Structure 1
Amino acid sequence: MESINESDFSRIDLNLLVVLLVMYQVRSVTQAANRLYLGQPAVSAALKRLREMFNDPLFVRTSQGMAPTPRAEKLVQQFAPLMQGLHRAIFTPEHFDPASDSRSFTIGMSDWVEHWLMPELVAELSACAPHITIKVVVTDPWQAVPLMEQQQADLAVTVGNETSRDLTRENIACAGFSSLWDYRQIPCNGPLTLDTFLRYEHVLVSYRGASESALDNELQQRGRARRVRYVTPNFSALPLLLRRLPLFATVPQGLVHSWCELYGLQAAPVPVNMPDYTLSLLWHNARHEDPASRWLRATVRECITSKLAAQSARVTRPG
């Protein structure tokens, strides 16, 4: 792309180009004035300025009206498509049709959110938005705000409450935690007591490598403690560890149903009070009114609320 000298445009009034195009169409100062809702003197003054700008008569009076000069013919050929494109850019509302438009979106989320949310979301998109591509970037709660401030993703699905003046955070819902284990390693199939919970070692997910969590703080208030055998920033390895070792894992409730089905694990409420987490959408304010971004947020929001409703129904269903 050639560089543009912005100062060159300071001498140009785009309204003059509109007069040029209308004059070319109607070949009459009077008719051009009527078309543009201007007085004849205003159109004559504009035509004078055009002649000075291009150093050419542009239109000469004949018995058939104002005939364009070769210079005017060439200018109209060059300007007409540009002005049409400018008109479309200014006056055509931006539109996004997920059924036909192609677009690539980047979404930030942690690995457990990806495991929980994306199978249903991608299946939904493949049906209603076949040309949409999704790229996930791993984003823990501490990474979400800087990621979105730098606009490295279109949307983040995250927990926590941090934000900034450049971002919008929308809280979707609160959810809790459950404890998981493998019955072949820990023979407990009744209510999970605190004594049983503390008799065995634990695995802990920590995005910053900490060896304690809110669960440990609650235990300390009771004068108790657990032994953490393994600390990882990822949830994905936990089911395989539980199947091989007598360990407990405390995870977001969203993972419980699929992990119990896939890996034959047992689940129970955590035997100490645990604060719920709030699942949120986070996006940059620059994308707030973008039709494609609004569609993405609505689609992700609907998928999350649908999954949480199904999860709640499974928990409350008798039997």
Structure 2
Amino acid sequence: MIENINEIDFRKADLNLLPVFSALLKERSVTRAAGRLYLGQPAVSAALMRLREMFKDELFLRTANGMEPTARALELAEQLGPALEIIHREMYGTPRFDPATAERSFRLGMPDSIEVALSPSLIERIQREAPGVRVAIRLAGHERGAKLLDNQEIDLGVSRFTDVASWHRQENLYREGYVCLFDGARLGIPSPIGLEDYLALPHLLMSFSGGFEGVVDEALARRNLRRRVLLSTTRFSALPFILKEADAIATLPASMARRCAEAFKLTLSPAPLEIETFTVSMLWHARHDRDPGHIWLREAVKSIVRVEANPSIDDTHRVQGT
């Protein structure tokens, strides 16, 4: 808030040095930064000396590959970059985003469980409202989403996130639980499945790390029970194909499981034990906070989630954990 700003502190610093810092960070060269700023090389060198004094750090070190930023410089870039972009946008205007005429690409990061649940409706929304927009979806779970944002490899993440920094913006979307998916006709087991049948069947597991344990095993351990995991895969979307051919069961996020049950004619059942739910949220970098196109994208995702991800009253009654 502006009430927390001490104007006297700003009088002690030359804020005109910040564009020099930004240019050096982008160019990694005093000569190229000078060209970018239409300044002489001596002026940029002098500005760098003053930046070092202001931040009490070398900021950029000469190497065989050019001027490499220090850890402090990278930290400043994360903190100051969004602020400089906001100032620039407010001073020089923001391009208007009209979805009907806009031609733009967005990069989304999400696990394929969410991709399966949301992307069909997202594509329908884009075709209807924004025919010039296209979307690239990258696999991004809770451990990689923030890093992909910081590396500018995605514009928006939709997942469960655990590593959130001060320069990230986050908005919760819904609580997600788990349900069981299996081929009831093949196995001769109706829904809801009982705990005895659940433990007797071999299990399929999705694990980003490629391990053989997950939240189900944690829930079972609290009751001194164990299951047998027959197969572990890094993609949720492989599981329904396997379930059509194997005598096995999988425990999946409810929103994806409902889609798979409809598409593959599989049996959906509440899990016969309590499994901890989790929050799915949107995560984006502060640099996109007021970008009109990004705002449109976030609103589109939210409106789709209200229809696709949230269970109906009947589903809430039948499905544990949602």
Shared fold per TM-score greater than 0.5: yes
Question: Is 1:273 matched up with 2:274?
Answer: yes
Which residue matches 2:230?
Answer: 229
Q: CA deviation at 1:221?
A: 2.0
Question: Is 1:158 matched up with 2:191?
Answer: no
Paired residues of 1:107 and 1:135 also in contact (CA < 8 A): yes
Distance 1:269 1:130, change over 3 A: same
The worse-fitting range, judged by mean Cα deviation, of 185-194 and 200-209 is 185-194
Q: CA deviation at 1:146?
A: 0.6
Which residue matches 1:6?
Answer: 39
Q: CA deviation at 1:91?
A: 5.3
After TM superposition, list the pairs within 5 Å mapping 1:14-33 onto structure 2: none
Which residue matches 2:315?
Answer: 315
Who wins on radius of gyration, i.e. which is larger?
A: 1
After TM superposition, list the pairs within 5 Å mapping 1:186-265 onto structure 2: 186-265=187-266
Query: Structure 2: which amino acid aligns with 1:140?
Result: G
For the residues of structure 1 that align with 2:183 and 2:227, how far apart are their CA atoms?
18
Q: CA deviation at 1:132?
A: 0.4
For the residues of structure 1 that align with 2:144 and 2:94, how far apart are their CA atoms?
34
Deviations, residues 40-69 of structure 1 (Å, cap 9, x unaligned) = xxxxxxxxxxxxxxxxxxxxxxxxxxxxxx
Query: Structure 1: which amino acid aligns with 2:35?
Result: S
What secondary structure is seen at the aligned counterpart in 2 of 1:126? helix
Deviations, residues 2-51 of structure 1 (Å, cap 9, x unaligned) = 9354149x9xxxxxxxxxxxxxxxxxxxxxxxxxxxxxxxxxxxxxxxxx
Which residue matches 2:63?
Answer: none
Which residue matches 2:12?
Answer: none
Identity of aligned residues (%): 28
TM-score normalised by length of structure 2? 0.69
Q: CA deviation at 1:169?
A: 1.6
Aligned length: 239
Q: CA deviation at 1:92?
A: 4.6
Query: Structure 2: which amino acid aligns with 1:315?
Result: D
Deviations, residues 141-197 of structure 1 (Å, cap 9, x unaligned) = 111011112221110111133311221121111021100110233211143111110
Which residue matches 1:182?
Answer: 183
TM-score normalised by length of structure 1? 0.70
Q: CA deviation at 1:94?
A: 3.1
For the residues of structure 2 that align with 1:191 and 1:97, how far apart are their CA atoms?
48
What secondary structure is seen at the aligned counterpart in 1 of 2:184? coil
Which residue matches 1:147?
Answer: 148
Distance 1:242 1:3, change over 3 A: same
Which residue matches 2:103?
Answer: 102
For the residues of structure 2 that align with 1:274 and 1:160, how far apart are their CA atoms?
18
For the residues of structure 2 that align with 1:179 and 1:121, how far apart are their CA atoms?
26
For the residues of structure 2 that align with 1:136 and 1:176, how far apart are their CA atoms?
23
The worse-fitting range, judged by mean Cα deviation, of 193-202 and 143-152 is 143-152
Paired residues of 1:181 and 1:266 also in contact (CA < 8 A): yes
Q: Which runs of 5+ in 1 are unaligned?
A: 11-87
For the residues of structure 1 that align with 2:222 and 2:317, how far apart are their CA atoms?
34
CA RMSD of aligned residues (A): 2.4
Q: CA deviation at 1:210?
A: 1.8
For the residues of structure 1 that align with 2:263 and 2:93, how far apart are their CA atoms?
50
